[in-house]
Amino acid sequence: MTKRKAMPQVIAAAGLLTIVPVGYAAEMMLEEVIVTAQKRSENINEVAMSVTALGEEYINRLDLDSMDDLQKVVPGFHATVSTYGTPIYTIRGVGFQDTSLAASPTVSVYVDEMPVPYSILSGYANLDISRTEILKGPQGILFGNNATGGAINYIANKPSDEFGAEVELGYARFGTVDFDGHVNIPVSDSLSFRLAGKIIKSDGWQKSTTTDNELGDRDFSLARFSAAWDPTEKVRVLGTVTYGQDKSDTPAPQFFQAVVQNAQTPLDPGFLNFPKAGSENREADWSSCINNSPTEDPEGCVSLAADNDYMHSNIRLEVDLSPTILLTSLTSYQKFDRFQPVESDGTTFRNYESVQMGEIDTYYQEIRISGLQENGANWVAGANFQLDDTVDTFLQSYSDSSSSQIFGLKLGPTRPLSDQDVETWAVFGNMEYPVGDFTFHAGARYTDQKRDFIGCGQDGGDGSWSTISQGIQNLLITGDPFVNSSFPDTTQGPGVDAGPGGCGTTNEPPDFAPGYVYDSLDEDNFSWRLGSKWQATDGTMFYGNVSKGYKAGSFPTAATARSLQLIPAVQESLLAYELGVKSSLFSSRVQLNGAVFFYDYEDKQIRGSVLDPVFGPLGALVNVPESEVKGFEMFATALVTEGLTLRAGVSYSDSEIKGDFTNFNYLGQQQNFTGESFPHAPEWQGSVDASYEHTFSSGMIGYVGALISYQDDTYAGFGELPELEVDSYALLDMRAGIDAGNWGIRAWGKNLTDEYYWRQVTREFGDALVRFAGYPRSYGVTVSYRWQ
């Protein structure tokens, strides 16, 4: 690809950090980084796994506001977005490309160890953050949600016993106004409060290719209230309530190719000749309103503005049972309501658009006991229980698509539905035991999950899908949708009309009667990890791990003509082997961490297709029997001179489907995918960051910095079709600022070269192949003031 030449430079930069000059003052050394990746505080360079930790100052100076920003500084982590707005996270090539609201992810997200069980909720996690930890590899021992890819844990700032407050106000391109603030209020020696919040508002950043309209307004707000109470010296209670609203525009894709699904239905020449988006991130197009009417009434439509609400309340209780034994209880409840119109064809036609609706209610309880022995051994044992209730549905319209006529009948809106109740419980334990310079560790978790499901492809309300469904039944039973009628009248014959708003999904033989699909998925698994570390010198540690992780099975939310589309994908498993080193060099002025890994993957869940006799390939979740991932990663930090710090990282992940696996590509063509890599799994990722700061005699600190990040090319789906290629790209971000103690100011820029890149390529139910472009050049200024 055109940017592949950037990757050797990133690798070279990472290597150069290990040979920096060593003739500097001995007292110059990198700061110690403390993490809680194993649910206890320890130096990150003593943790026997691959962990990346980002501190509050680094996050703020680089304006790492989202998961999209996080992938710039964490090689091996990849973030993209699905058509329906559900984010997709991948670590070391392990991700889940599903669009459902309630899909269990391969990369789990936590806030203060409280699980955020579905990726759609992760956009409300980044507020008043003290530290972000990214754990790579299967995480199923100490964290509440099994995950085959890894985990991301946000650690929020807590109430303290000293008064303090800070406000930040930023202004950026596209009229973006960004407010962040917090206040910490000690009430007594044992009680303190903390209130934090953020508000982001902006004008549209996308511009229409055919009109003067703009899209992309942001209207996002998030607040968190925390109370810390220490009723005794041995008891600590932390309660938190978070509330967020997102009324932002949903982005429109870039139309670049028409792919006709049904050649027998003529398409409007205006659609076939619609202007294709050019090589600019801002270019896109969209319908003036998204249909929200069961009859496709032009008056029954809404703009591309979301109306999503999120609430998270939790309580953390800690009790010192003895000087060396700690009891911890985590209690969490989250609620999410969604209303999100989506443009999917990138044109002004109604080729395919939808209004996403749904809700999530999730309750989590964990109790654990941890201890420390005199010889340095430590242990933890506990149990957790989780209840999830999710409803995922959307009204989809495609009156201008080639799929809008079936059996000569006009197909109106339809409404896929997925209603799931999930009950999960688990018991877990872990122990580390030192023997001389070696420390051995072992951990395990037994998980049992029951998932009850109700699904259907419902009629949108005008009765057209119910009538066509009756014709499908006739066809499956008699071979004729009209039962020898001379005109398109599906009411003749054995088929059953579900009626307006009814369920039109045809079930199994012999009668193929329409109706809701009721199913359940009962699974259990035993995840484990064995490993050891060797403290070779005071500054160098080697480690090795073997671990087995699982990801729960899942039911899809899909445009469902046949019940076979709703067969669940069963749980996947990943057996991981990892060897790593963490070395402090040149009197602690250079830190070099590296790892090599191999993953043996079974039953990987993917978004594939099943063959329908009427519609052809239709979306479903399927399992890939055998696949593997192998690779390495290296990350180095160097204090080159007083004030000058370099950070560089690189990762290589080679994913491959093994054995024989045949399914359908995005264009509906049957294909053997053996030997292909996973979607959205770039082989190479890397970044180089340079920062310089100087302390003036007055105590004021000035700083500048630059970050170059690189993502290799990949594909958005199986088949390795040129149309589905996501090109490689490199982004340049820069910042400069002053920190004067009680006030500060910083200027920043992202994608300063205005690199054109896209993050997703897709074709949903319509006839349009589209790209979701990245964010264009942006820049801004932020001022802050502190009271302390």
- Inside any domain, residue 51: yes
What residues pair up with 762 in beta bridges, in sequence order?
770
Q: Does the residue 1 lie in any domain?
A: no
Q: What is the pLDDT of residue 487?
A: 64
Distance in angstroms (rounded) separating the CA atoms of residues 728 and 710: 8
DSSP code string of 728-748: -EEEEEEEEEEE-SSEEEEEE
Q: What CATH number should be reported for the domain holding residue 716?
A: 2.40.170.20
Measure Cα distances from 656 to 92, 283, 315, 598, 660 in Å.
12, 34, 43, 12, 12
Q: What is the pLDDT of residue 683?
A: 97
In a domain, 584, yes or no: yes
Please name the residues in contact with 762: beta carbons below 8 A apart, sequence gap of 6 or more: 82, 83, 253, 344, 666, 716, 717, 769, 770, 772
Six-digit token string for 687: 């970044």
Quote the Cα angle for 558-559-564, to 5°: 70
Q: Is 221 part of any domain?
A: yes
**Exposure of 145 by Cβ count < 10 A (0-12 exposed, 13-18 middle, 19+ buried)?**
buried
Indicate the length of the chain as a whole number.
788
Specify the number of domains making up the chain: 1
CA neighbours closer than 13 Å in the CB half-sphere of residue 566 = 29
- At 587, the amino acid letter reads S
- Tell me which residue of 105, 111, 98, 88 sits closest to 148, measured CA to CA: 105
**Measured distance CA(276)–CA(291) in Å, rounded:** 23
Residue 259 inside a domain? The answer is: yes
| C-alpha–C-alpha distance, residues 626 and 615, integer Å | 29
Residues of the chain predicted below pLDDT 70:
1-30, 32, 35, 37-40, 144, 484, 486-487, 490, 492, 613-614
Token reading at 186: 């000690």
What pLDDT, in 10s, does the model give residues 255-267?
999 988 888 888 8
Torsion of CA 748, 750, 754, 757, to 10 degrees: 180
Please report the pLDDT score of residue 486 as a whole number.
Answer: 60
State the pLDDT at residue 26.
39
69: CB partners within 8 A, 6+ apart: 62, 63
Q: What is the 3-state secondary structure (H, E, C) of 680-718?
A: CCCCEEEEEEEEEEEECCCCCEEEEEEEEEEECCEECCC
Q: Is residue 458 part of a domain?
A: yes
Residue entry with tokens 């007292």? 27
For the stretch 226-236, pLDDT in tens is 999 999 999 99
Q: If you search the block for the tokens 């968190």, which residue do you land on?
A: 224
Give CA 600 to chain center in angstroms.
23
Beta pairing class for 283-284 and 206-208: parallel
User: SS3 breakdown of the chain: % helix, strand, coil, rounded to 5?
Assistant: 10, 55, 35
Which of 217, 251, 304, 334 lies closest to 68 in space, CA to CA?
251
CA atoms within 13 A on the CB side of 99: 24
pTM equals 0.92
CB 318 within 8 Å of CB 326: yes
**Which residues form the domain of 138?**
6-787
Total Cβ atoms within 10 A of residue 28: 15
* Burial bucket for residue 522 (CB in 10 Å: 0-12, 13-18, 19+): exposed
Q: Give the model's pLDDT for residue 14.
A: 47
